Amino acid sequence: MNIFVVNSGSSSIKYQLFKMPSDQPICSGLVERIGLQGAAITHKVYRQGEETRLERQLDLPDHEAGLQEVARLLSDPEIGVIRDPAEIDAVGHRVVHGGESFAATTIISQAVKDKIRELFALAPLHNPSNYLGIEVAERIFGRAKQVAVFDTAFHQSMPEQAYRYAIPNALYTEQGIRAYGFHGTSHKYVAEQAAAYLQKPEAKLITIHLGNGSSMTAVEGGKSLDTSMGFGPNSGLIMGTRSGDIDPSIIFHLINQLGQDPKEVSGLLNKKSGMQGLTGYSDMRDITNALEGGSPEAELAYSLYAYRIKKYIGAYTAVLNGLDALVFTAGVGENDALIRQRVCRQLEYLGIEFDEEKNQQRSKGIREINTPASRVKILVIPTNEELEIARQCFALLE
């Protein structure tokens, strides 16, 4: 079964094509910096153990332009891996917010699309991109089954004390206002990888997904017990353009004292805050360059970013009543050694002892960056949301 996986982020599209049940992709790629200067595609094709790599810089104003370019590469006469889009049996889509309507992988119908649209307001940076990916894929891969895998599904195991808010009960029972959590596909995948690596199915883990969007999850026995994102994906950690946790009084101040309307406040907190608000940049690589150039704004931003993560480590260690491993994943978590260093320093009281030399090394698989004496493992595990999505699609359709 040929399953093409589309993972549309706020400024990126990751994709992989699998011939299931094999876990090895036929091709994969990344479209990044969509809508920003220097948008680029990295496309890889795998044949007989050999990798062919193509890199291009393009003007990609939006996600539709990016996905159209990906479709062209899939059937390119020279490097294509399919002759015709009709060869794709299923397209698996990452969808960020499923509300209380979707707790499992779902074949996409018009009713499902309508519900995803209804949830735009809860995930304004992602659900519109996810929806657009579905619409474009339906046109390009007309024969394929379109399947949605929801980020919120993994966190359905959270206990009520973790997902409820201290607001009038009717707002939950009638409006569904509760914490849903996100990045569930990534947290599930790396938690399973970590438990297998530790040879401990009931492992107590804190999974730390750091990308343009970021979140942390307390996991025990493969189940989510708590997570930093809530009703929408703006709570918790500091992110590329999102504020993360703030005092709700700030929202009232922006509206009542500064005269902003709710739409302006939403745009401010979702698209103009986080690292963008602190430094003028949303991409961590740009902020790193600014830091190396002596920028005090970049220095402060790094400190705030790491400090927020440390606070959640302390909170989730308490929730779990112990800890077997910290797991860093996603673009920043896997590649930014400085962030990992700033997070992991001075956590010895929790049994977390960090090895600077190991932290600077790179590898494609799971690696430890803790000292041999550390009671808690510090793991860097590359996430593979696309493989997890393909597995869930295959399980649904086979």
DSSP 373-389: T-SSEEEE----HHHHH
Catalytic residue among 59, 76, 151, 324: 151
> Do 97 and 212 fall into the same domain?
no
In a domain, 83, yes or no: yes
pLDDT of 219:
98
331 is in an annotated binding site: yes
**Residue at a domain's end among 121, 150, 179:** 150
**192: pLDDT confidence band, cut at 50, 70 and 90?**
very high
> Do 131 and 277 fall into the same domain?
no
> Do 217 and 102 fall into the same domain?
no
Mean per-residue pLDDT over the chain, rounded: 94
For the chain, the domain total comes to: 2
7 is in an annotated binding site: yes
> Do 222 and 368 fall into the same domain?
yes
Provide the strand spans (E) within the chain.
Answer: 2-8, 12-19, 25-32, 40-47, 50-57, 90-95, 106-107, 145-150, 204-210, 214-220, 223-227, 325-329, 367-368, 377-380
> Do 76 and 222 fall into the same domain?
no
In a domain, 176, yes or no: no
> Do 251 and 122 fall into the same domain?
no
* Full residue range of the structural domain in which residue 357 is found: 199-380
In a domain, 231, yes or no: yes
CATH code of the domain covering residue 321: 3.30.420.40
334 is in an annotated binding site: yes
> Do 95 and 26 fall into the same domain?
yes
Please report, in angstroms and rounded to a whole number, the separation of the first and last CA atoms in the chain. 8
pLDDT more than 70, % of the chain: 100
> Do 212 and 79 fall into the same domain?
no
234 is in an annotated binding site: no
In a domain, 49, yes or no: yes
pLDDT at residue 272 is higher than 90: yes
In a domain, 343, yes or no: yes
Question: Which residue from 93, 87, 89 is spatially nearest to 67, judged by alpha carbons?
Answer: 93
**Residue at a domain's end among 109, 126, 150:** 150
pLDDT at residue 97 is higher than 90: no
Report in angstroms the alpha-carbon separations of 318 from 49, 204, 313. Answer: 45, 11, 9
pLDDT of 331:
93
Largest Cα–Cα separation, the chain: 64
pLDDT of 23:
92
pLDDT single digits (tens) 279-337? 999 999 999 999 999 999 999 999 999 999 999 999 999 999 999 999 999 999 999 99
213 is in an annotated binding site: yes
333 is in an annotated binding site: yes
Sheet harboring 214-220: ordered strands across?
Answer: 223-227, 214-220, 204-210, 325-329, 377-380, 367-368
pLDDT of 132:
86
pLDDT at residue 395 is higher than 80: yes
> Do 323 and 210 fall into the same domain?
yes
pLDDT at residue 125 is higher than 80: no
> Do 119 and 245 fall into the same domain?
no
pLDDT of 236:
98
The phi, psi pair for 39, rounded to 5°, reads -60, 145
Q: Is 151 a residue of the active site?
A: yes
pLDDT single digits (tens) 199-253? 999 999 999 999 999 999 999 999 999 999 999 889 999 999 999 999 999 999 9
pLDDT of 106:
95
**Residue at a domain's end among 127, 150, 173:** 150
> Do 143 and 221 fall into the same domain?
no
pLDDT of 63:
82
**190: pLDDT confidence band, cut at 50, 70 and 90?**
very high
**133: pLDDT confidence band, cut at 50, 70 and 90?**
confident
pLDDT at residue 357 is higher than 80: yes
In a domain, 291, yes or no: yes
In a domain, 66, yes or no: yes
> Do 106 and 210 fall into the same domain?
no
In a domain, 128, yes or no: yes
